[in-house]
Amino acid sequence: MRKLAIATTFLLLLLSFIPSVGVAQVKGVYWTSSGMFGPFPMVDLVPSLPKEKQRDVTIPVNMWVIDHPKGLVLFDTGNNVAISDGNCKKYWPAMCDLLKPSQKRDDVIDMQLKKLGYSTDQVKAVITSHAHLDHIGNIKLFPNALHVIQKKELYQAWWPEKFQGRTGGAFVMGDFDGPAREFNYLELEGDYDLFGDGSVVVLSTPGHTLGHQSVKVRLASGQTLLMAQDAIWFKENLEGFPAGLNYSVKDYNASIQRLKMIRDLENGQLFFGHDADQFKQQGAPKWFK
């Protein structure tokens, strides 16, 4: 018995000297919104929506802050600062009446970071889901960060398909021209494990746009968070009513299935890009730890 106790003590002592291998944990994930869009009828965005599910919605513009020991990460930077405080028409002349944004200067990502106690130069990496105006809007506030985007999405942003609109559409050149041309882009062609420890994984989820990507985060608790962004706008899209505005309906459906399967395999929580009910029910803006 005594021998066993000595052996156990020795083993515990030994273990305490072995450095933990590959277990860098995400410290926290903050979920917030770059102001709101709406109100407008949901059917304008989801043409397949049956009449009984139709309602007017005011929707969040989700952005995420991921605090990892190796650096601070943003997932999407929201609407450009220039549309704040009722100044939409100057910067988005063709989109204001449709989207009805209500972004205050305080809602912009730099101010939100400040409120959380971070500065913009602390941001090591900015992951952009896709190059639409409500997701890539403020990359220019992070000139020193590494920008993580699918290579195809960069091409698409600069020269969208004609049916998606080349001027006045959802791709706004001012968001990524000028100095942003020379940023450091990690140009992905598929999935990517950002810190090499499996805790922040970029997932290729095309369909909404040519190079759309989502993010999977594993918290220290072991819980999986899946941020779909515009791969899935609303719960209704998951229930079989596809959104409009897709680059490819085939890829869109495959990406939804992919996210669903990952959610089910890992018992994860799936977050939609613009779901007002989910945002409210979950009590966002909020931290996940």
- The yes or no reply on residue 175 touching Zn ion (CB under 5 A) is no
Choices 26-34, 130-138, 189-197, 219-227; region in contact with Zn ion by CB under 5 A: 130-138
Interface residue with Zn ion among 134, 153, 175, 251 (CB under 5 A) is: 134
- Residues 247-266, mask of contacts with Zn ion (x by CB under 5 A): --------------------
Least gap, CB of 135 to Zn ion (angstroms): 6
Phi, psi at residue 20, to the nearest 5°? -70, 135
- At residue 106's C-alpha, the angle toward residues 91 and 269, to 5°, is 95
How does DSSP classify residue 25?
-
CB of 243: closest distance to Zn ion in angstroms? 10
Strands 269-272 and 224-229: parallel
Q: How far is the CB of 7 from Zn ion (least distance, A)?
A: 59
How far, in Å, CA of 135 to CA of 231, rounded? 12
Q: How far is the CB of 74 from Zn ion (least distance, A)?
A: 15
Nearer to Zn ion (CB atom), residue 45 or residue 66? 45
Supply the DSSP symbol for 21. Answer: P
Which residue, 134 or 175, has its beta carbon nearer to Zn ion?
Answer: 134
Nearest to 192 by CA among 205, 176, 209: 205
- By the rule CB under 5 A, 275 interacts with Zn ion: no
Please, what is the end-to-end C-alpha distance for the chain in angstroms? 42
Helix (H) or strand (E) holding 90, with range, is helix 88-91
Tell me the C-alpha distance between 242 and 277, whole Å.
Answer: 18
Q: How far is the CB of 261 from Zn ion (least distance, A)?
A: 23
Q: Which is nearer to Zn ion, 63 or 145 (CB)?
A: 63
Closest CB to Zn ion among 230 and 275? Answer: 230
Distance CA 113, CA 121 (A): 10
d(CA 41, CA 44): 6
Judged by CB under 5 A, the chain residues 217 through 236 that form the site for Zn ion are: 230
In the complex, least distance from residue 275 CB atom to Zn ion, rounded to whole angstroms: 11
Binding site for Zn ion (CB under 5 A): 134, 230
